[in-house]
Amino acid sequence: MKFIILSLLLSPISLLASNGDGPIGPRSASLGHASSTLYDVWSTRNNQGSLGFVRKGEAGAFYENRFFVKELTQTGFAAAVPIKKGTFGLCYSTMGYRLYRESQTTLSYGMKLGEGISAGIGFDYLTTKIADIYGQAHAFTGSVGLTAKILPQVIISSHVYNPFRAKITEYNNERIPTIFKFGAQYIFSPKVFLTAEAEKTSAQKINIKGGIEYKPSSLIYIRVGGSSYPTQAALGVGVNYNGLKIDLSTSYHSILGLSPQIGLSYSFGKDRSKSPEKTPEASEKL
């Protein structure tokens, strides 16, 4: 059984974001992880370019039971703290079990460069542990991102993770993949938006992702999404009550099965937006 689990972790078909900047959070998961245009507490990892639009303090945590295999469980937390000219973020996530574990810590900063445009940067510290006899490997890398509202209904974003291909270990010259993302969001109304994203890594072919979020009431959000590589479908619901957000999602991998996820976050403090009505509307609703 342990051999099978290790094979899943190390096999390209599982695409578990080994040593990579995989998007996190149940909202992202339910939208097929097309999350670079969204701005919420998870922008601390998913796209620092969107972090400048987060102008209210927020903290959150998530738990994912990946493929219903406890050894592949992923957990993490994130916090975003706005200051006068930008927003700092801190995020930590870990995945695996005693014989194999990956963790990633991200320190981020994003700020608005003008009305409707934000840029950000992140610094990452990664740790990989494979059984007792192999020990641990460590690496530092980073990312940059940009998000812009080019029309009242259109938001675009770009994000590059690990642009210099940092090395994780000397053995076989193993390097962390570089990941390029380009996203777009179209806001149909204050209740509905569509988001899409193209992702290309230095180790895998292009992945097309997309999702729709619908707000039927002031409290409830319904989301559906999917991706092309690997082929996955996803859905989720969210509740936002006075700044307390509960998000549930599940994604279905065409080979490995279901991955349910739950997240809890809370917004606090004063909204530091100078003109909130002019910032990207759909993403700020949740």
pLDDT of residue 8 exceeding 50: no
Coil, helix or strand at residue 67: helix
Which pLDDT score, from 0 to 100, does residue 21 have? 64
Report d(CA 213, CA 47) in Å as an integer.
19
Task: Count Cβ atoms within 10 A of the Cβ of residue 273 and give its class: 0-12 exposed, 13-18 middle, 19 or more buried.
Answer: middle
Cβ 93 vs Cβ 24: under 8 Å: yes
Please give the Cα distance from 144 to 163 (Å, whole number): 9
Comparing 94-103, 165-174, 203-212, the range with the smallest average pLDDT is 165-174
Rg of the chain over all Cα atoms, to the nearest angstrom: 18
Point out the least confidently predicted range of 171-175, 213-217, 224-228, 261-265: 171-175
Task: Identify the pLDDT of residue 46.
Answer: 96
Structural domains in the chain, CATH included, are 2-8+21-284 (2.40.160.40)
Whole-number pLDDT of residue 84: 87
Model pLDDT, residue 1: 44
Global pTM reads 0.86
